[in-house]
Amino acid sequence: MRVLYCTRSDSPHDRRFLTALGKSGHEVYALRLLEGKPQTPKGVTEVPWQCVRGALQLKDLPRQQRQLRRLLTNLQPDLIHAGPIQDLAFLAARVGFHPLLTMSWGFDLMKDAYQSPLSRWQTRYTLQHSDYLTLDCQATADQAVAFGFPRERICVFPWGVDLDYFSPQNSVVPGKSWRAAQGWEDKTVFLCLRSWEPNYGVDVLARAFARASKENPRLRLILLGDGSEAAKIRALLRGMEDKVHFGGRVDLSALPGWYGAADLYVSPSHVDGSSVSLLEAMACGLPSIVSDIPANQEWIQDERNGWVFPDGDAEALAQVILGAAEQDWRAYKLQARQDAVLKADWNEGVRKLLACYDDTVAYGKSRKP
């Protein structure tokens, strides 16, 4: 099968999908509208784009449609796999290509679809012209159904994790070494990897930790990442340099050690699908504290494999942090790892995606005039 994978950027998620597809035996091409040179995995051919790059703008849409039609005439793909919904999937829908598999990125259905009348129209248009839809959680699937997309043509699978790489065995040793170097062996360490952007609530965690650490001086926090709210978050934690480690952006190769350095993981997101960093934490055996948005509650159940707090409520999160710090986590850790093994295997997700390709092609051919 000749597959054209269309996306906005060169994100780690895109690279994971393309790496897997490059090993699938399919003939895979990648079209990315980012500026700059993307990383192209083995087995994937990058498609040149001789048109406007960057985020999709309506004023550029006629030129981009003409360019995409020319590209499709030359390439003759059997399937387009495209997302986000209001972006590359919308462009693919506008040129009338079938079979079209649209991939939701979570935020496109949970937030962007409701930003304006235009975004609502783009969402409906794309879904009406898609043959199948793939996404990473039931909460997002419910949103698609609310927009009129048939549930029987939705392929749900989490963007899971490599369970051998993200495991207690691969994370504990480097994590303990780092804690010893910090002098944090006898502390309770919380970890958050969420991007410092408004969607992900890291400022809520900063407020909560500042309050909780006044009551329990043994608490410590590792904050990885960066983003547009960096100044705000650092200001909230000013004067706490002995209790907070700002690790910046880290490579994939270092991630297991960071999970191993923590006792508990925190995901305070306001908008999300199945968070990959949450699944990585679970795979490494970390209990997690999460906001009570629907997608998080598909993974974390209160007092079973973690704790849940009301979204955006820093005071409630502070109380959960204080309570969790006093718990015996052994049963929580075992349950978190078990849940990840049962439901978050990346290899199983890839198998479901490839099966979805077959279903999309069969349905797309059946609807052609």
pLDDT in tens, 259-310: 999 999 999 999 999 999 999 999 999 999 999 999 999 999 998 999 999 9
Q: What is the CATH number of domain 2-159+346-367?
A: 3.40.50.2000
Query: Distance of CA 40 to CAs 2, 56, 175, 354, Å?
Result: 17, 22, 31, 20
Give Rg (Cα) of the chain.
Answer: 21
- pLDDT for the residue 369: 52
Residues 300-344 have pLDDT tens digits of 999 899 999 999 999 999 999 999 999 999 999 999 999 999 999
- pLDDT for the residue 128: 97
Complete DSSP assignment for 18-68: HHHHHTSSSEEEEEE--SSPPP--TTEEEPP--S--SS--GGGHHHHHHHH
Q: How many residues does the chain have?
A: 369
Q: Is the pLDDT of residue 36 over 70?
A: no
Q: Is the pLDDT of residue 35 over 70?
A: no
- pLDDT for the residue 6: 94
Return the beta strands (E) in the chain as ranges: 2-7, 27-32, 44-46, 79-82, 100-103, 132-135, 154-156, 188-192, 219-224, 244-248, 264-267, 288-291, 306-309
Q: Is the pLDDT of residue 367 over 80?
A: no
Q: What is the mean pLDDT of residues 14-38?
A: 90
Angle at 300 between CA 294 and CA 301, to 5 degrees: 95
Residue extents of the structural domains in the chain: 2-159+346-367, 168-343
Reading the block at residue 320, the tokens are: 């959960």
- Comparing 155-169, 224-238, 355-369, the range with the smallest average pLDDT is 355-369
Q: Do domains 2-159+346-367 and 168-343 have the same CATH topology?
A: yes
Q: What is the mean pLDDT of residues 206-225?
A: 97
pLDDT, the chain, mean: 94
Phi and psi of 32, rounded to 5°? -130, 130
Q: Is the pLDDT of residue 192 over 70?
A: yes
> CB–CB of 363/132 below 8 Å?
yes
- pLDDT for the residue 368: 56
- Straight-line distance from the first to the last Cα atom of the chain, in angstroms, rounded to the nearest whole number: 21
Residues 6+ apart with CB under 8 A from 136: 104, 106, 156, 157, 158, 159, 273, 274
Q: Is the pLDDT of residue 134 over 70?
A: yes
Q: How far apart are CA 51 and CA 71, in angstroms?
A: 11
Pick the CATH number of 168-343 from 3.40.50.2000, 3.30.750.24, 3.40.50.2300, 3.40.30.10: 3.40.50.2000
Q: Is the pLDDT of residue 79 over 90?
A: yes
The one-character DSSP state at 153 is G
Q: Is the pLDDT of residue 53 over 80?
A: no
Q: Tell me which residue of 77, 144, 67 sits closest to 104, measured CA to CA.
A: 144
Other CB atoms within 10 A of residue 120 CB: 15
- pLDDT for the residue 58: 76
- Comparing 43-57, 148-162, 232-246, the range with the smallest average pLDDT is 43-57
Give the distance from CA 10 to its chain's centroid: 14
Query: Distance of CA 304 to CAs 250, 308, 312, 330, 332, Å?
Result: 30, 10, 22, 11, 6
Q: Is the pLDDT of residue 49 over 90?
A: no
Q: What is the mean pLDDT of residues 344-368?
A: 92
The one-character DSSP state at 85 is I
